Structure 1
């Protein structure tokens, strides 16, 4: 190939215009380069329709003017289309006489002063999609082999540009799809965040309701328990008042004897001691309940004696267990001091005992009912534990027991949040670990391991 044609071809093949996906710019570059290389002033790109019954001009340069939207049909020019069907180069040195182009003479060649044509097929992915049509004016022109190769190479470059255009189109569609998807994701994320917020609010309300339900059980149990010593105190006080009235009558009537006064003193001593013991018992119950309830609501960090605190917790729990005919046993090491959150510990044991009432001992359970609460000193750590001799858990229930809203007592009003609260308090507030040991008809043991100094 002549050096001048090689240079033009090399320049076009290296141009970024060919591969940037702008088919209009690539078409302009190719046709202008064809006109320059062949020294002609008219050339164009024609593309076949899918049914190959029509060929349309998408770009035609004629003396620096740009023409488009010219079309030829197979019905009008059958011989030309037969030549195109061969997918070979059409070399017409005398276009008016050439078998493939002669039928253009009156309608196209003569009006445009075209004497010679060189049509090279454009291929894309193996299929011929159109031609580059080179048209010479003046004297008939003998097209050289180098010129045929040059135009064929330019046609191949156009095929490359078509491929780049498709890639660009796919990328744009992909970008648009991604943009739509991103907007959809943003919308869905916003909806999801809103829904999560609502669920979180609902969950928080349910958790608070569960906490208040546990406190409500404590209130009911403590109220019942306090009524007993208060009732005894009231009865004893009434008896003392009656005896005092009798003594007053005898004194006013001058009938008071030493033995009557001695009996009165003994009666008052017994009665007042009975009142003192029962009021002290009631005061202790109220004090322990107030401490437990306040701790559960505040969850403040303290340095405290875990042993004594668990004894305080057990005090308001005993009325509940006694009402359920359950024996509550406290098993503690001596004076274990920790720096942690007593309120969280109170909530944990209150929830565990309340959970036991609903699940551990169904009406069909026979035998003695026992709950054991306790703690063991493990050096830098403490193990707190809950045990009962109830019906135990299956593996399925054991694996799901800490999941929020999982419950086997939905029909009885269970929310499925009690054990979830326990798990969150142990793992998040106390930074500890919790382990379930249980089996069918083997009771339940829950071990809670925490540091003596809870990490912040």
Structure 2
């Protein structure tokens, strides 16, 4: 190859414009270099459509007329011989373009009007597939394309393929950066919401359980956030590796596809984890709103308790659990009815879900609700004849986030919320009596003064 052509190729290959991802700048550098090296005034980049039924001019520079053309389209239907030659994916060196088997179809509509006598078309390949051509057009007397000129043009086409890869990488990096920024914004937003929820809990809870609750919230939210951050970090590492392979010209199609697969999986995992954290925070906000909106009024418990329990009976019957209610007649108390309803609903639902297990029980499954006056207080209890709770867990079950059903969607907040409601809203006590295989009884004691 002539030294002048080698110097031009060296200049183009070392140019930062090829690898910085700005395809338009790289395209113009390559086409101007083709014109300078081949001493021609017209050259352009033409790209296939997806079905390879046509090629469209991406960039055509006519230095003689100082103009660009970027809207030209050639279809397979109109120029079958030319496309048949392109299908071979080889260089078309038409010394006499007016008579060459691949280019004679352009004579009347393109070559003669523009004074084009010779054409040199070299294939552009990307990821092993031909995606278009660089078309070099000589105006004036016909010329013969020499071997070193063909190699020169082909090398420029390879550099264009490299520029496409750089452009795709830049686009991916921009998208990844946007995803990272979005994740960071979500983390900041969710963290802010969590802090707000924690502040409300601090204001309402003045008991020792507060410390455990805050720690539990932080742990439960940090787990999905940690997974999300790890996934994003892994995607960034994968990006560095594939960029290194690209720089070393070791990037393969399989490597790129593996990269895309790993990053897609990682980003999906990050999105799922952040959604889980967001849902958990929403649960806290709803629970807080429910507690603060409760009003105090006088209610007759022998009427109110059955009214709360009756809608739960169909759910219990479906699980073959019998519900019985025993309330002392004319038992009136001034309290928060919403809390009483929440206590009963949660305790009965817990019994239905946890007390009897999944195996068929030979005995009749029963849940009983009783309410009676006891000196200066009201005692409300929910008992079952199920499998019971080991004594070692009697205190643990009231701690936040403790659950034996996390795989079924349990959060471990139910009994902790009830504990706080009873102590802070009702100024009462909640205790548990249970032993293995001997059922469980939750007893809520509410001072009559409330």
- TM value normalised by structure 2: 0.48
Structure whose CA Rg is larger: 1
TM-score (norm 1): 0.48
